[in-house]
Structure 1
Amino acid sequence: MPDKPPKAVSRSLSDLLADVRLSGQTWVYGDFAGQAGCAVAPGDAVFIHAVIHGELRLACTGGAMAELGPGDVAMVLSGEAHALRTAPGARAQPHEGLRRSAGCDVPPAMAFGDGPRVTARVLSGRLQAQWPGDVSRAALPSLLRTGTTLFQSDAMPLSGMGAGSAALLTRIAETLLIAALRADPGCRRILSAETRDPIEDALQLIVASPAQAWTVESLARSVGMGRSNFAAHFTQAVGKAPMEVVAERRMEHAASLLRQGRMKVAEIAEMAGYGSEAAFSRRFSRHFGITPSQMREEARAVREEAVPMPRFRALLAGARSRAVRASENTAEPATTTGTIPSDKIFFTQGRRD
């Protein structure tokens, strides 16, 4: 029998979000010294990482990635293996504190790396999730990024101090998850009361995680369809094959990162889902007609031209111009050889011997 799109959901978005629950008390601080990292083993859980200070990159085995800074919160909804690193290529030590569920009252701290000082601190949790019965968890993005804007900027650090911290942190995480699901267009569509279009859901998954190792089969499974029917319906609706759209989205994602000018080509290749920088460069050049390095340099030149001269520099330039004009006027030689009028003679007092 041919696959059919999921049936219409009659419940409101609030009803569905009310069924989202997080439980558990597994929380731990991670202190990263120098170039360090941690590797989190997969599990039937939702992993949450809130950056207290410093900057890290989170990379999932499925290809989803995120650059995180102070105040950012990342949620690995899929429970897949992932790693946090302060620098590309940093060694990722196993994160024993998140290997299994283990309740605590106050989050302990674990150290990663052996640098002279702590460069990043992360508060991480491993929690059990309950989802609405008529919502497929597989259709949700594997990685969801949010922030603590609902609370004060120091809400997470303060909540992790003192007795009862774990219970409070879990409630905060649940609130942040519901807010993130509500705010994300793709998640809202999946949870909405309208009839869901599996092809539109697939497009949203590709846009949200372009670096993930998508295949036609994995996309079809994520939206609840068989491979053959999904491929046929997708090509008919979009006008392109699923993997063509995946490749185009990866190129757009890579171009956006290149224009920002903050990352190396090898890093961008990885974040675009390519294991080889050479393969990425060849695909990029065929798609855009220029190499990744050329696009980055062109974007840098445009940024430099667009930067206005700071006001104080403009003032200094104006002052210099006025000074030059004044010096030119005073430097003109005197052409008058006549007698100076007596009323224009000035006397200065000299030294008395």
Structure 2
Amino acid sequence: MDILSDTLAALRTGRPSVVRTDARAPWGVRFQPVSGAGFHVVVEGRCVLLPVGGEPIDIGPGDVVFLRRGTGHAICDAVTSESAAFVPDRVDTSSPIGSFTVGGGGARSVLVCGAYHLDIDRPHPLLGELPEVVHLPAAPGRHPALRAAVDQLCAEIHEPRPGSDAVVAALVDLLLLYILRSWYDGMSGERTQGWASALNDPLVAPALKAIHDDPAHPWTVESLGSRAGLSRAAFARRFTAVVGEPPLSYLTTWRMATAARKLRETGDSLSDVAENAGYTSEFAFARAFKRHFGVPPGAYRRERRTTSEL
């Protein structure tokens, strides 16, 4: 698995929740914060996104908005329209893609709204580098993979066919990858630092791949530097300058992310989770995990499993 796919798989804590919102002016909906990242895709019409503490953002057909921390916000047909709180109990859940209707009898807007359930207790640099709100306007010739996915999503929403629920769910799942690719591609000429930039750095990328391929290996700065053909000191400087943290610090970050995923998704013993994360001592692992997440691994597992069952 490539590094970006590997990272997204480790951060996910569940499948995306998806709701089709059918709105007619005047209308407005306030969304509460979610544990993960929120998103909206405009299928039809125009509307305004009102981020907390930010300027209004006009969004139109084909536009994608991504809120990296799932912060509270509102969407409305106009900034002067009143907004009512989004009430999950009003969502029609008779199909896998929920439906929600709001507003009066005026101009129509259709959106696909939802959340990517991600572990944000200790965000990976992949998400930490993003702005609070990512707006990717529909524009000919830009982000072709994202545009193709959005166009297909809009087509399935406009004219549902047998299997549309499964198609929409799969497309929404893929959108997260396309959103990240599109934003980072758009910033590639402006950024020479950051985790995503490191993926294309010829000297740092091999070390990142080694860490992701085998996080349990007893890596040292010297052994990672040998992957880049650099001395220990030169590699440490390069890695820290590009990624934003020292190589062994990132190694710990990734080990904790993979351990957290094991705790959420498997019944493996703590000793097995510790070993797979590169720790020979369960006690040392538990201490490192608590330092990273603020809770012991056993408590983390119980909390995440209880949440997933709600």
User: What TM-score, normalized to structure 1?
Assistant: 0.44
User: What TM-score, normalized to structure 2?
Assistant: 0.50
